Amino acid sequence: MAEHGHGHGHAVSADADRRYLTGALALIVGFMAIEVVIGVIAQSLALISDAGHMLTDAAAILFALIAMRIAARPPQGGFTYGLKRAEIVSAQVNGITLLLLSAYFIYEGIRRLIVPPEVEGLFVVITGLAGIAVNLLATWLLRKADRSSLNVEGAYQHILNDLFAFIATTVAGLVVWLTGWARADAVAALVVAALMLKAGWGLVRDAGRVFMEAAPAGMNPAEIGRKAADLKDVVEVHDLHIWEVTSGYVALSAHILVSPGADCHAVRVAAERLVHDEYGIEHTTMQVDHASPELLKIGQTEAHCADSHGPAY
């Protein structure tokens, strides 16, 4: 006897308010154009690196907006989950972009440490202070969006790192302006690159877990399997799979064997309640069957299914 239960808790980032992202995008694009001009005039790598980062900020927000619209489309044809994973593609692109930018600015920063150019410190300070104000506002807007989405979190990390970059740039500009030590600009660029590297790796790692259909970070499938196996009348749990369709949308499937004569429906309900109440998993597909007499023999260790995947509990 096989029974299937489905809980449809599709917590995706479509709930994030597009107005916040659009407002942040307008701020970033407008200020970026001004910063490129001033960076060239002042010959400041820190400012130009900030402008380059802001370009990726704008792209990150744009990708996030596009991905949100694509992910909101209903399932159809062969896309039985819809296109929700488009948001993870966006997050992965944002992470890779941060990694590539960090590599470039590390190279340029080291080169300018060796041969420092003349930097107009006052221009850098003024632009940096303005950049801090713009990025504070953009960060505030994105914090109001639904950051449970890895897609929105990717855009947020871009903006947050740019805020840190402007702080470092402003400090460097002050040092150059007050002391004449031009290498401070390159040091600031290296600090920004390190922050980009950290944020980029985090996004690539988290998006990679979703693409590889790993269980969400911090969720232990073995623990869930053991707890399900401890439920009343359950003999064995196998073919247990837990994965994320997209950020915030966790799915689980399992094959549960129960004692002959036990109520399969009641066991399935108890298992669904367990994973929902203790682990927040709302989308489940569970097949519940009566165990064969052979499986119940003392010392029997074979799984019910000859081709079962993964350990049995």
What are the structural domains, with CATH classification, of the chain?
13-211 (1.20.1510.10), 221-296 (3.30.300.30)
Q: How many CB atoms lie under 10 A from the CB of residue 62?
A: 17
Residue 289's Cβ-count burial label (10 Å; 0-12, 13-18, 19+) is middle
d(Cα 100, Cα 52) in Å, to the nearest integer? 11
Q: Residue 289 belongs to what H/E stretch?
A: strand 283-290
Tell me what percent of the residues of the chain surpass a pLDDT of 70. Answer: 85
On the question of pLDDT at 1 being above 70, the answer is: no
pTM: 0.70
Q: What is the pLDDT of residue 6?
A: 44
Reported as a single tens digit per residue, the pLDDT across 242-281 is 998 887 789 999 999 999 888 999 999 999 999 999 998 9
Q: What is the pLDDT of residue 46?
A: 63
Confidence grade of residue 74 (pLDDT, cut at 50, 70, 90): confident
Q: What is the pLDDT of residue 256?
A: 92
First-residue to last-residue Cα distance in the chain? 20
What's the number of CA atoms in the CB half-sphere (13 Å) around residue 279? 28
d(Cα 233, Cα 257) in Å, to the nearest integer? 9
On the question of pLDDT at 104 being above 90, the answer is: no
Please provide residue 235's backbone torsions phi and psi, each rounded to the nearest 5 degrees.
Answer: -95, -40
Report how far apart, in Å, the C-alpha atoms of 69 and of each of 12, 18, 46, 61, 66 are: 12, 10, 35, 13, 5
Report how far apart, in Å, the C-alpha atoms of 286 and of each of 76, 85, 239, 252, 254 are: 23, 23, 10, 8, 5
d(Cα 193, Cα 177) in Å, to the nearest integer? 22
Q: Are 83 and 71 in contact (CB under 8 A)?
A: yes
Confidence grade of residue 135 (pLDDT, cut at 50, 70, 90): confident
